[in-house]
Structure 1
Amino acid sequence: MYDTGKNSDEFGMDKGGSEADAGGETFAPVARFRRSLQRSMKLYLSVSRLVLGQSLGQHRWLAATGLAGALSFALLGAGVSALVAPYSDVETAALTADQAPQIVALDADGPVERVTLGAEAPTEEAPAQTASNEPTAAETAGIATSSAHTELAAPVAPAEPKEIQTKVAINDGETLMQVLTDAGADRVDAYHAIAAMKPHFSPSKMRAGQEVSLTFLTNPTAEKDEPAKLLTSISLQPDIERAIQVNRAEDGSYRTQEFQKELKSGFAHAKGAINSSLFLDAQQAGIPAPIILEMIRMFSYSVDFQREIHPGDTFEVFFDRKYDEDGIPVKEGQIAYASLTVDGKPYRLWRFKTADGDWDYYDENGNSMKKFLMKTPVDGARISSGFGMRKHPILGFTKFHEGVDFAAPKGTPIYAAGDGVVKIAGWVNGYGNFVELSHANRYETAYGHMSAFAKGIHPGIRVHQGQVIGYVGSTGRSTGPHLHYEIHIAGKKVNPLGVKMATGEKLGGKQLAAFKATRANVGSQMAETPLMTRVAQASETPKAN
């Protein structure tokens, strides 16, 4: 009943068959699987015959069936293991091959070679080197690969510091510290730079619109707590005759240099006719605004610019000025001579320095231009209401107007009509912001509806003729910006336009002789100076003193 274990050709494989007979080395795993399966099946049949042959009852039959099932599952697991075992290392090898870095060496004269790092060298021996020292293809590929690797691994050069220059303007209400920090300067650097500047120029004197040139040096290696930019210099020009420069030293401190500009002195000569107003027509002739305003002030003691100026009247002015190295006028000086012909009557004035060191303007006879009081204490105004009875624009009924109203834009400066002492400076009903001045000979002047008082104006302070005491406004009972101007003589209000003012100082003796010499010298200089035009004024040739 037992299987004797004789050879069987049941599965088509002799016991003595070799792996080579089964298909050669190429199919060795398959042959091993078949032999294992053959042995397992033989064992299964033998055990089945033994169990089934000796079955005496139902219980033994069931036990035999269970044992056969268990053996079947074991046989299936053994078969699968035998089938998979030969390929257990294939996945690892494939993954290793895919992840191995590969270098492609390009040879202009040969095919592309692919070199895999970590791969085993071929078993065949490399051909012997020729006698010549020419590199082989593999060596060439190695050189190319090494060169490519060197280029990829080259370090990046660190960034170099760069110089950055910028120009900023001071805004109204801004400080120099704000300007520097907003431009990117470190606050500590800005503080030390300003401290170094103060002995030469106070930053508090900087005005709105003034430009400041800044230079920075980038700091590419800055640490977390270090500034990205270093403030290296500050340059500004407080006025046209000097410049300030603050530079950063190697030790990180700041030092200031002051440069004085050499300006050439010269003269300018202009004349023209009045068609609309002295201010507009003088501008058309190329005269700078400060000179025009000074002319108005000079003649305001003798001429009423609101009522007495007519088309066809003429003007002339001769003044000194400063020129830069390119011959461009950069600063206006003082008027040496000015004339105004009104309705055929000439008014001529020359500038002269008296023995006490004061400057003033005098006519051809040595009489000072100044009168006791100015006729019009505000520039560029027109008379909007005269002295006398009128219908009040707000109250609506006829009322005596005790002064003269000069209409002018809000903020126009108001001048003291003469030397005196401030009696009132404050709010007065109807007049709004109000100033009253006491003068000699029991004269008083009053100024109403001001928008604001000039700095330092308060009761008890002494003022000089022509000094700004306030600004045109519309405070109190007023329908628009204007100056209400009054003159009181011994407490009585009089018409400001009808008061005859006494003249000022009159030169005599040596003073008069010195004045006449100055007048002749000015006449010679005027003859040598060509008339300027608006186009040519910037290219005039400066004259030496």
Structure 2
Amino acid sequence: MALNECQSGYRMKYTLWALICVAALLQQGCSEQTAVPATEPAEQATPSTSEKPERVEAKPQKSAPTQLASELVPKLRPETTEATAEQPFRPLSEAAQLITLKRGQTVSALLSRQGFSSREIATLALALKSVVPLNKLQAGSVLALDQVDGQKQISLAGEYAERVDATLEGDTWRVTKSYVPTRTEIAEHAVTISHSLYGDAANAGVPGDVINSALLALSHFIDFQRQVYEGNRFEVVFERTLVTADEALFAHQQTPLQPTYLRFKNSEDDLRLYRFADSFYLEDGRLAESFLLKTPLNGARLSSHYGQRKHPLLGYTRMHKGIDFSAPAGTPIMAAGNATVKRADWYGSYGNAVVLQHDDGYETLYAHLKGFAPGIQPGVKVAQGQIIGFLGNTGLSQARHLHYEVYQHGKSVNPLALKKLSTVRLDGELLAQFDAYVSGLEARTLRLSRLASGDSSVYSAREATAESR
């Protein structure tokens, strides 16, 4: 009997200790938005396969406290629910209380002030750890506190337009997701360049992410260092996705933006690019890209350019021989062109990296990967657009991103300066659909061409559809 009491007391102490450790993890969580600085390898020049380092399995990086908390999960799992079911959307009630995470504040402190116990907060963190890690919430994040059928409920934003609800059922948090209704807003801007495309477009109200996407697409044709002059014309149409309910939960997030039409006109060219089937095409149905993709991943933000810059980790100025893209960890990375895999392993300060050998002496390198796609190994042939790995934060990297380099005959090349166009072209039924799509936009693009510099218009996707008919 005394032995059983001793064991029971030990289990209680261990559980309390586990909860204290999880609470401590929440206390040290970063509540401020973390910038995503661009990084590059420390000592790598051109890709080489002369060294054969031991292959390292790609694993998410964890700090010691995070590993400790994950080890404690099995002890607490009977009192938490990790399965996240999808539920029909139901707006927050009018009685829901909205609370905001302030700069320097922890989620634990925020919820404690609302009457939640340390145990409830710790088990909530465990229930949400694979959905929305509470210690990673940014300053400005909003949580909604509500009562649903007499039970406490905490709601917060997951991805944009995705609401995550945690409902306390006894000692267990039940986690569900629902998708908030959205509407699509279309904006069009006309800009006459006086100083720079980026600066003039920003002054005209074009979002930075849209400008970056436009620069990446147009750079297949335009050298922005030598071919842009005062008086050149830039036009852009982009879509913005907006939630139509529970707006406060998503106010701190960037609304998804998608450029759909681009035009750049100078004394030599009048380029018109149309987004179709997730890529830009010229009016004749040719893919508006180089034979090597400049952006070998979708939904990314260009976070660092090619050229001299101060290294964020090493602290001194050096050549940045590639470009960096910021995107969520795990984002699929695509082969920039048809190629043979030269290496796919741990590559020193590059971390997990893939090197592809293309025609005409070209090589591309993809660094800091979380891991590799199945079957990606030396000697394997891959097609343009095929997934070869997943974005991560390995090697000499300060934050999750893709570092992308291009070489020709061993010499570093600016990926954005490549002018060799793809030979891919739409045909058959797809070409017919594209031609019909372009024809349906004629009235809108004509109206846009008549806008004065700095002018813009915004309308709903429903209005745009009616106009195209």
- The alignment's TM-score, normalised by the length of structure 1, stands at 0.46
Following superposition, the deviation at residue 487 of structure 1 comes to 1.0
CA distance in 2, matches of 1:247, 1:375: 44
Q: Which residue of 1 aligns with 2:116?
A: 185
Following superposition, the deviation at residue 519 of structure 1 comes to 0.5
**Aligned AA (1:340):** F
CA distance in 1, matches of 2:434, 2:308: 40
CA distance in 1, matches of 2:179, 2:256: 18
**Aligned AA (2:99):** K
Q: Choose from 276, 284, 287 the match for 1:365.
A: 284
Q: Choose from 282, 287, 290 the match for 2:209.
A: 290
**Aligned AA (2:133):** S
**Matched ranges for 1:401-420 at <5 A:** 418-420=337-339
Is the radius of gyration larger for structure 1 or structure 2? 1
Q: Which residue of 2 aligns with 1:272?
A: 191
Q: Choose from 358, 370, 373 the match for 1:455.
A: 370
CA contact (8 A) 2:193 2:234 kept: yes
1:341-367 per-residue CA deviation (whole Å, 9 max, x = no partner) reads 2443122111223xxxxx322111111
CA contact (8 A) 1:405 1:483 kept: no
Q: Which residue of 1 aligns with 2:101?
A: 169
1:66-100 per-residue CA deviation (whole Å, 9 max, x = no partner) reads xxxxxxxxxxxxxxxxxxxxxxxxxxxxxxxxxxx
Q: Which residue of 2 aligns with 1:521?
A: 440
1:466-485 per-residue CA deviation (whole Å, 9 max, x = no partner) reads 999799x999xxxxxx9985
Q: Which residue of 2 aligns with 1:444?
A: 362
Matched, 1:262 2:181: yes
CA distance in 2, matches of 1:283, 1:503: 30
CA contact (8 A) 2:342 2:357 kept: no
**Aligned AA (1:190):** I
CA distance in 2, matches of 1:465, 1:437: 15
Q: Choose from 144, 157, 163 the match for 1:243.
A: 163
CA distance in 1, matches of 2:386, 2:266: 23
Q: Choose from 141, 159, 162 the match for 1:211.
A: 141
CA distance in 2, matches of 1:532, 1:322: 26
CA contact (8 A) 2:188 2:456 kept: no
CA distance in 2, matches of 1:302, 1:320: 23
Q: Which residue of 1 aligns with 2:263?
A: 339
CA distance in 2, matches of 1:288, 1:361: 19
CA contact (8 A) 1:318 1:335 kept: yes
Q: Which residue of 2 aligns with 1:17?
A: none
**Aligned AA (1:445):** E
CA distance in 1, matches of 2:304, 2:101: 31
CA distance in 1, matches of 2:186, 2:452: 10
Identity %: 20
Query: Does 1 or 2 have the higher relative contact order (CA < 8 Å, sep 6+)?
Result: 2
- The alignment's TM-score, normalised by the length of structure 2, stands at 0.52
CA distance in 2, matches of 1:506, 1:233: 52
1:396-420 per-residue CA deviation (whole Å, 9 max, x = no partner) reads xxxxxxxx96689999899975454
Following superposition, the deviation at residue 291 of structure 1 comes to 1.7
Q: Which residue of 1 aligns with 2:231?
A: 312
Residue 289 of structure 2 aligns to a residue in which SS? Answer: coil
**Matched ranges for 1:318-329 at <5 A:** 318-325=237-244
CA distance in 1, matches of 2:175, 2:305: 47
Alpha carbons of 1:261 and 1:524: their partners in 2 closer, same or farther (altered >3 Å)?
farther
Alpha carbons of 1:345 and 1:164: their partners in 2 closer, same or farther (altered >3 Å)?
closer
CA distance in 2, matches of 1:501, 1:315: 23
**Aligned AA (1:167):** I
CA distance in 2, matches of 1:288, 1:273: 16
- Give the length in aligned residue pairs: 327
Residue 331 of structure 1 aligns to a residue in which SS? Answer: coil
**Aligned AA (1:204):** P
Residue 283 of structure 1 aligns to a residue in which SS? Answer: helix
CA distance in 2, matches of 1:454, 1:518: 37
Q: Which residue of 1 aligns with 2:275?
A: 351
CA distance in 2, matches of 1:499, 1:374: 9
CA distance in 2, matches of 1:483, 1:180: 42
**Aligned AA (2:362):** E
Q: Choose from 394, 398, 407 the match for 1:486.
A: 407
CA distance in 2, matches of 1:191, 1:368: 51
CA contact (8 A) 1:274 1:311 kept: yes
Following superposition, the deviation at residue 186 of structure 1 comes to 0.8
**Aligned AA (1:345):** D
Q: Which residue of 1 aligns with 2:11?
A: none
CA contact (8 A) 2:193 2:229 kept: yes
Matched, 1:202 2:202: no
**Matched ranges for 1:22-61 at <5 A:** none
Question: Which ranges of structure 1 fall in alignment gaps of 5 or more residues?
Answer: 1-162, 218-229, 354-358, 386-393, 395-403, 476-481
Q: Which residue of 2 aligns with 1:423?
A: 343
CA distance in 1, matches of 2:101, 2:377: 40
**Aligned AA (1:460):** Q
Question: Which ranges of structure 2 fall in alignment gaps of 5 or more residues?
Answer: 1-94, 297-301, 310-315, 328-332, 398-402
Following superposition, the deviation at residue 542 of structure 1 comes to 2.5
Q: Which residue of 2 aligns with 1:107?
A: none
CA contact (8 A) 2:232 2:265 kept: yes
CA contact (8 A) 1:237 1:244 kept: yes
Q: Which moved more, 1:298-307 or 1:362-371?
A: 298-307
Residue 306 of structure 1 aligns to a residue in which SS? Answer: coil
Alpha carbons of 1:363 and 1:285: their partners in 2 closer, same or farther (altered >3 Å)?
same
Following superposition, the deviation at residue 520 of structure 1 comes to 1.2
CA contact (8 A) 1:321 1:333 kept: yes
CA distance in 2, matches of 1:252, 1:470: 35
